[in-house]
Structure 1
Amino acid sequence: MKEETTHFKPSLKLLDATMLVAGSMIGSGIFIVSADITRNVGSAGWLLVVWLITGFMTLTAALSYGELSAMFPKAGGQYIYLKEAYNPLVSFLYGWSFFTVIQTATIAAVGVAFAKFTAYLLPSFSEDLVAIDLGFFTISPAQLLAIGIIILLTYVNSRGVNAGKAIQTTFTVAKLLSLFGLIVFGLFFLDKGIWKANWENMWHLGALNTDGIISPYTTLAAFGAIAAAMVGSIFSSDSWHNVTFIAGEIKNPARNIGLSLALGTIIVTVLYLLTNVMYTGVLSLHDIAYADKDRVAVSAAGHIFGTAGTMIIAVMIMVSTFGCNNGLIMAGARVYYSMGKDGLFFKKVTQLNKNAVPGFGLWIQCVFACLWCLSGRYGDLLDMISFVVVGFYMLTIFGIFILRKKRPDAARPYKAFGYPVLPVIYILMGLAFCILLIVFKPKFTWPGLIITLIGIPVYYLVRKVNTVAPVE
């Protein structure tokens, strides 16, 4: 019989927590999604505006979450905040969406991106090849590699938080330095002709076509294009809140979670903006928009360093996505742990293994993420995830207003910066984003919403099976 423990071990310091925030945010997106953003907005100025809006929203949300994390420094993070502000149904819908779409599909998307860049070095892993042909269904080598990486990192994290911490801190420091180095070299070797051409019509908003012609939008379509463009930037900036899920393993969580959220999101937001400035200095807008398989960073590195540089950047992005998935996998199982404690998930997820981690939760997360790897393309997963994620961010931030009224005397070691103005601005921006996405990109936003709503009957079924009384 396996030896088990009953409590988490606080072993993560502020640096570890900050590296988890930054490392979970920087995966594959910043190296890829600027292509789709540029196709949607058609100019350098609007490219940066999209990243600025996303950066503002991310930082605002992170600073708002600081209040909640200080009030409830428990494993489960956002799931706990929603339960305390609303009721068990709302928190269950988040946990259900987190398990079925948000975390598992993000892990899959980052795993597929890892394989995408591996194929740049080793073409035998290409997503265009067929490894297994079942007649009605084919599996590519890229999908198999993504699955293999997810299984490997799940195993590593099942061995204890220190094993995952070592990978997270090492890989995050490596990718921060690498990304900073790419920015410095790119700006040093900036092409003045390309820079001038890209910034001459910096506020010309329109769809950039393959022939280089920009098709202007009507006013409403322009808002839709910006929302569509933000799908990629929001995905690239997401998962900053993963640190809240592992609150039970962070030393002095009331202080360090909020501080790590602020530090991590600021670092990444600045790096993202500078990276896009660098792109516009070495690549034409057309080259950014139509980079081979959207690998903008590889194209940029090719212009800066030549052929050897593209190999180096491909390895760097593999390191980045590997470290990102480690953070996602490490944090995710703690949400299922909290759900299990409330009787709203498999009871076995509440059991910590001999390494003081929720081993069963890690492995069922692994299974779902692997299934998502087989489901579709990278872009499809982005659209589905971004819509659901922003919806729950809005609910959680609105929860601050609810808790201020419900529990005015509760201890708040840290209060949301800019309250109530900044949280209100975030909610309004998030609402506009979600509405525009439903109107202009319904194909992949509705499935995410439907999956979330399916959680309502599932909640009542689970309550009936487990005879769990709702906590009012």
Structure 2
Amino acid sequence: MIEEKAQEFKKSLGLLDAVMLVSGSMIGSGIFIVSADIARNTGSAGWMMLVWIICGFMTLTAALSYGELSAMFPKAGGQYVYLREAYNPLVSFVFGWTFFAVIQTATIAAVGVAFAKFTGYLFPVLDEDVYLFTWNTFHISSAQMLSIGVIILLTFINTRGVKSGKLIQTTLTLVKILSLLLLVLFGFLAFRHEIWNLNWTAENVWKLQYLNKDGSFTDYSTLGALGAFSAAMVGALFSSDSWHSSSAVAGEIKNPQRNIGLSLALGVIIVTLIYLMTNLMYTSVLSMEQMVNAEKDRIAMSAAQEIFGSFGITIIAVMIMISTFGCNNGIILSGARVYYSMAQDGLFFKKVGKLNQNSVPSNALWIQCLIASLWCLSGKYGDLLDMITCVVVIFYVLAVAGVIRLRITKPGIERPYKAFGYPFLPVLYILMGLAFILLMVAFKPNYTWPGIIIALLGVPIYYFIKPTKGNISDETN
């Protein structure tokens, strides 16, 4: 009996915990950086804000659709389970493989290194330019080792039980939401009329063009403008990713049929509003030229210097440290549940599908830690995340389309919650997602084909390892 209880998830997460998991997993370092590149590709405050508005709308629309899926299948694994139930084990495995190989593990690495980089501002010995080991062109820096140390620490904490992870997540997410709101407030208190007027009353405020570092503009052709806008969307979508984190820990959420969908909607709304306010604040203290010239695209630091003076760098460094630490905790906690579900289906190492004495998938947590640490050492996580953004949207489109497919193929399944705005909003998301994917394939192939190839590698791997009988859910098509 004791062993049986140890193999069951403990429902320890309430609605607040689930909302903080969603919000905290979304807010990492992106909001402090990517707006510089968005400003560069759009060339105007109006178009920059439109990118964030469209991204927020798409994310919320997808979250509302996921609410129906989460109510139908309140199981650990989230998106992996939804794709399996809506389509077949091959589709869900390709997602799970890509999620494990790059999407989640490279994100953990990127967020971990971001934490270390900004820690280096306060403690120079931990800077990314301080090399501990060099061999030809390969280097291992203090920042990389610190990022690995943080990933190991958070993994260990999460192996102690979901309550340990949720305490860090809820506390740090509340702190960083408050910190961002205070940054926005002080930013608007430092409102500069001449900057605002320059950004919002100029004749090109709604003209899409490339903004060079010298302040000059380069006009796009019609097709070039579409490609530039889709490239600008990459940063915003990356900053809003991991919004589905609460669905992955469905087995540990109280009243999951209600609280998962609600947490997805509330978490996305909170973060979207904060992102919009933050970017609006940027336009009140920085000219577009200052944005594109921010050192290493760290636009928040440039804004903080305008608001707080030289002390602003320290303030933003501490904010990003808190933000990335909490973000990594959330994605480490949720990611392991996907591999656990894959192992339960016989599509991953058998031991990964076991829970430890604290009722968490510790083996899944540690193997995720290993791959993320290797990405930290490689230094290639940033390139891979750019390459994988298109594939991430492909899986979101498939999952949202799965809502429609399941309405047709499995009308008898109980649906405690039905997607808001069905079928209009799901169809609109699918169309917007497909438009983004096609534009990226056409105009930014370096952002698309590598990720698509990584995902497609999952097909032969699936046929090589799939069980000949049993394990994979009998509920699949």
How far apart are residue 374 of structure 1 and its match? 2.5
Identity %: 65
Q: Distance in 1 between matches of 2:384 and 2:55?
A: 18
Q: Which amino acid aligns with 1:25?
A: M
Is 1:57 the counterpart of 2:58? The answer is: yes
The letter of the residue matching 1:391 is: I
Shift of 1:322: 0.3
**CA distance in 2: counterparts of 1:381 and 1:319, whole angstroms:** 24
From 425, 447, 461, give the equivalent of 1:458: 461
Which residue matches 2:135?
A: 134
Q: Is the 8 A contact 1:232 1:382 kept in 2?
A: no
The answer to whether the 8 A contact 2:388-2:452 is kept is: no
Q: Distance in 1 between matches of 2:346 and 2:14?
A: 31
* C-alpha deviation, 1:129, in angstroms: 3.5
Equivalence for 1:181: 182
Greater mean deviation of Cα atoms: 462-471 or 429-438: 462-471
Indicate the residue corresponding to 1:145 in structure 2. 146
CA distance in 2, matches of 1:186, 1:221: 34
Q: Secondary structure at the match of 2:57?
A: helix
Contact 2:384 2:451 (C-alpha < 8 Å) held by counterparts: no
Structure 1 window deviating more from structure 2 (389-398 vs 290-299): it is: 290-299
- CA shift, 1:465, in A, is 7.8
User: Partners of 1:362 and 1:461 in 2: how far apart?
Assistant: 24
Within a 5 Å distance, the mapping from 1:69-468 to structure 2 comes to 69-199=70-200, 200=202, 201-376=204-379, 379-463=382-466
Three-state SS of the structure 2 residue aligned to 1:131 is strand
Q: In the TM superposition, what is the alpha-carbon distance from 1:308 to its structure 2 partner?
A: 1.6
Distance 1:342 1:217, change over 3 A: same
Deviation at 1:428, TM superposition (A): 1.1
* Contact 1:40–1:225 (Cα < 8 Å) also in 2: yes
Displacement of 1:454: 0.4
Tell me what 2:7 maps to.
Answer: 6
Cα separation, partners in 2 of 1:288 and 1:379, compared to 1, 3 Å: farther
One-letter amino acid matched to 2:426: P
Paired residues of 2:345 and 2:472 also in contact (CA < 8 A): no
Secondary structure of the 2:427 match is helix
Deviation at 1:54, TM superposition (A): 0.3
CA distance in 1, matches of 2:233, 2:377: 25
Q: How far, CA to CA, are the matches of 1:468 and 1:409 in structure 2?
A: 24
Q: Which amino acid aligns with 1:404?
A: R
Per-residue CA deviations over 1:42-85 (Å, capped at 9, x if unaligned) read: 11001000000100000000000000000000111111111110
Measure how far apart 1:101 and its partner are. Answer: 1.1
Assess, with a 3 A threshold, how the Cα gap between structure 1 residues 442 and 469 changes in structure 2: closer, same or farther. same
Q: Residue 18 and residue 429 in structure 1: after superposition, are their counterparts in 2 closer, same or farther (change >3 A)?
A: same
Determine the C-alpha separation between the residues in 1 that align with 2:463 and 2:230: 34
Q: CA deviation at 1:432?
A: 1.3
Stretch moving more, 95-104 or 443-452 = 443-452
Q: Distance in 2 between matches of 1:469 and 1:190?
A: 58
Q: Which runs of 5+ in 2 are unaligned?
A: none
Distance in 2 (alpha carbons) for counterparts of 1:259 and 1:451: 33
CA distance in 2, matches of 1:80, 1:111: 27
Q: Which amino acid aligns with 2:196?
A: W
Q: 1:382 Cα shift?
A: 3.2
More off after superposition, 409-418 vs 12-21: 409-418
Moved more, 237-246 or 288-297: 288-297
**Alignment partners' CA distance in 1, 2:294 and 2:392:** 28
> Against the structure 1 CA distance between its residues 411 and 467, is the aligned structure 2 distance closer, same or farther, given a 3 Å change threshold?
closer
2: distance between equivalents of 1:256 and 1:437?
35
Identify the range of structure 1 (22-31 vs 105-114) with the bigger mean alpha-carbon deviation: 105-114
String of CA shifts for 1:233-272, please: whole Å, max 9, x gaps. 0010010101100000000000000111111000000000
- Note if contact 1:21-1:260 (Cα within 8 Å) is conserved in structure 2: yes
**Residue-by-residue CA offset, 1:9-57 (whole Å, 9 max, x unaligned):** 0010000000000000001100010011111111100100000010000
Structure 1: distance between partners of 2:39 and 2:79: 32
Unaligned runs of 5+ in 1: none
Provide the aligned C-alpha RMSD in A: 1.6
TM-score using structure 1 length: 0.97
For residue 113 of structure 1, what is the amino acid of its counterpart? Answer: A
Deviation for aligned residue 1:277 = 0.3
Contact 1:106 1:385 in 2 (8 A): no
Going from structure 1 to structure 2, the CA distance change for 1:406 and 1:147 (only over 3 Å counts) comes to same
Cα distance in 2 for partners of 1:290, 1:231 equals 19
Structure 1, 459-468 or 221-230: larger mean CA deviation:
459-468
